[in-house]
Chains A and B, each alone.
Chain A
Amino acid sequence: MKQLDRKIFSAIGYVSLILLAVLCIFPFILVVSSSLTEETKIVTDGYQFIPTAFSTEAYSILFKYPQEMINAYLVTIGVTATGTLLGLFLTSMTAYALSRKDFKWRNKFSFFFFFTTLFSGGLVPWYLLIVNYLDMKDTPMALIVPMVLNVFYIIVMKSFMSSIPEAIVESAKIDGAGDFRIYVRLILPLSKPALATIGLFLALAYWNDWYNALLFISNENLMPLQYYLYKMLGNMDGMRKAMMGAGAVVTTAIPTESLKMAMTVVATGPILLAYPFVQRYFVQGLTIGAVKG
């Protein structure tokens, strides 16, 4: 009887988990396969999970005029690298000061940071500040600065650092080390797991960011990858509609549909490649968060 229960349960478990996993991966396969399908096939039969007519035309067109794409890549790489490093430095330094139990004002400062997650002035004053007062529109600063610090990352980092034994700080102090030196020489090396997790969260946020570009970037040379993709998806649609509106037969000269998917693949590629290697750090980060509450 017990055996049967177990078997029924396992069957339900396997089937539903495999189903969910397939649903999570399917769309990615659809995108890759569409990018490799002949345009005429897509137009007549729709996007397909398995290319019925294989073609690499979309990629060859994409790589024939790669300047814009390369430029967007460079912007994203530059913003991601700068933002992640700067963010890690500021987050860990702030978290360190807040984690020092002998620092009497740490709760007051913690609340100062925390309150910003409870209440905000909304989009408009923030936007006007950045555009009209700080003059960051169409500068790389607009892509880096707004996301460089995040209260939740500070809290996670702080709770990690709080678990480092106080005796380490005490003995370093007795040896005459200053606070900054303790942070750089002792705390940072001991915080590597938290730094890896927060660094990856920051890097992912920067890599996937299109929102700041949507608000602040109109200069094409400063468009990051995701925003470039967003623009292209919209533009080609517009182009196609305009062509149809003018009474023209949809030409296959530009394979717009497969090209869109090829662009999506190229823009997402690095994340999918890095995914198997970095996934465990994200799991680690979430698990720390869940246990600490």
Chain B
Amino acid sequence: MKGHTFWSDLKNYKVLLLMLLPAVAFFLLFAYIPMAGIVIAFKKYDYAGGIFGSAWNGLDNFRFFFESGDAWRVTRNTALYNIAFIAVNNILQIFAAIMLFEVGGKWFRKLTQSALFLPYFISWVVVGAIAYNLLNYDIGTVNAMLRGLGLEPVDIYNTPAYWPYILVLVAAWKSLGYGTVMYLAAITGIDTEMYEAAEIDGANIFQRIMKVTIPNLMPTVIILVLLAVGNIFRGDFGMFYNMIGNNGLLFSATDVIDTFVFRSLITSNDIGMSAAAGVFQSVLGFATIMTVNYAVRKYDKDRALF
């Protein structure tokens, strides 16, 4: 009987299933088959054998990855950068959204929002070019200004210590508009009656923001932050690669898992270790997302991912 309904369902859904077929084939090919390809991480890859024909070598690839000392460095960098990005980006975005909501007329709001959103639209390659423009030792604007003030120029591209600050600034710059628009939408959704009530109670604007806007914004903030925390072990390859490239002098402060995996694969062609680092990242990421989703479920069941 069960089999019968299955076949009749199949017939009913024939067209819908055909419509899903390209997407199913796509994700099977580009997502699920590569998941099976994780076995490379446990093999000594050779080109003749390919993914499934190469000889097993147990946990050797992982051992190399962890014993090289790179594992700890790139994992720490990835997590710390993401934590800094989450904190700085969200605070700036919420600040800009509240200000945009409270201050100015329609035109001011529109123009400012357009300006803030602009960096979102350009590629990381262009951002890299702009950064070079500003930070370059010989002709960068920052050093030109320092020289103009009679100060010593700084060799930024040779000094790892500056980079955490630079990268946090660049990330904030690129994502400011995007986040501001999201938070602005959430603020616009707050019930205006609450503002009116605050007004009647004689609250000034600072009190209104602290007592009405921010508490009402909190659910959105918590969800967005938690979701971002779920991706804490995913580095933004485009940003790190275009800002630092192959400048090994800076790696101690700037290398993240994604750039490490890329270099091991393309530059040093160490396929086994690169795959091992990738698997390590995927597993860590999966565990984090599951934990975070559990937290979101506890907080607000409707906003959980699954």
**Residue ranges of A at the interface with B (Cβ–Cβ < 8 Å):** 1-2, 5-6, 9-10, 12-14, 16-18, 20-25, 27-28, 30-31, 34, 42-43, 45-49, 90, 93-94, 96-98, 100, 103-105, 109, 111-114, 116, 118-129, 132-133, 145-146, 148-149, 154, 178-180, 183, 204, 207-211, 215, 226-227, 229-230, 233-234, 257, 260-261, 264, 267-268, 271-272, 275-276, 279, 282-283, 286-287, 289-291, 293
Contacts and interface: CB of A to CB of B under 8 A. Distances in A.
Interface in B114-132: 114-126, 128-130, 132
A105 B122 CA distance: 40
Contacts of A98: 20
B16 A132 contact: no
A13 B104 contact: yes
B38 A125 contact: yes
A94 B112 contact: no
For chain B, what secondary structure do more than half of its interface residues adopt (helix, strand, loop), or is it mixed? helix
Contact of B238 (A14, A129, A183, A211): A211
Contacts of B51: 125, 128-129, 132-133
Given A47-B133, A96-B19, A109-B24, A129 B37 contact: yes
For chain A, what secondary structure do more than half of its interface residues adopt (helix, strand, loop), or is it mixed? helix
A57 B173 CA distance: 31
9 contacts: A21-B115, A27-B134, A45-B139, A121-B31, A124-B40, A133-B50, A233-B125, A293-B302, A293-B303
Nearest to A86: B22
Given A116-B32, A149-B26, A226 B38 contact: no
B271 interface: yes
Contacts of B210: none
Interface centre among B13, B41, B178, B266 (most CB of A within 10 A): B13
Contacts of A154: 23
Closest 5 A/B residue pairs (Cβ): A122-B278, A125-B37, A46-B144, A13-B103, A121-B34
A240 B275 CA distance: 36
A287 B185 contact: yes
Contacts of B95: 16
A90 B20 CA distance: 9
Contacts of A209: 123
Nearest to A265: B126
B216 interface: no
Interface in B182-208: 182, 185-186, 189, 204-206
Contact of A103 (B16, B27, B271): B16
B118 A275 contact: yes
A20 B103 CA distance: 14
Contacts of B36: 121, 125
Interface stretch (B71-79, B158-166, B279-287): B279-287
A120 B121 CA distance: 27
A208 B128 CA distance: 13
B238 to A, nearest CB: 6
A181 to B, nearest CB: 9
Contact of B265 (A123, A132, A178): A123
B118 A25 contact: yes
Contact of A257 (B123, B124, B128, B139): B139
Contacts of B133: 27, 30-31, 34, 47, 261
Contacts of B121: 204, 208, 271-272, 275
Interface string B283-301: 0011001100000000000
A24 B119 contact: yes
Given A126-B34, A290-B185, A229 B125 contact: yes
B112 to A, nearest CB: 5
B16 A116 contact: no
Contacts of B94: none
B218 to A, nearest CB: 14
Contact of A124 (B113, B114, B181, B275): B275
Interface centre among A13, A22, A100 (most CB of B within 10 A): A13
B185 A291 contact: yes
B23 A113 contact: yes
Contacts of A42: 139
A121 B258 CA distance: 13
Interface string B257-278: 0100110011000010011011
B123 A6 contact: no
A226 B27 contact: no
Contacts of B103: 9-10, 13-14, 17
A31 B130 contact: yes
Contact of B125 (A116, A126, A230, A272): A230
Contacts of B139: 42-43, 45-47, 257
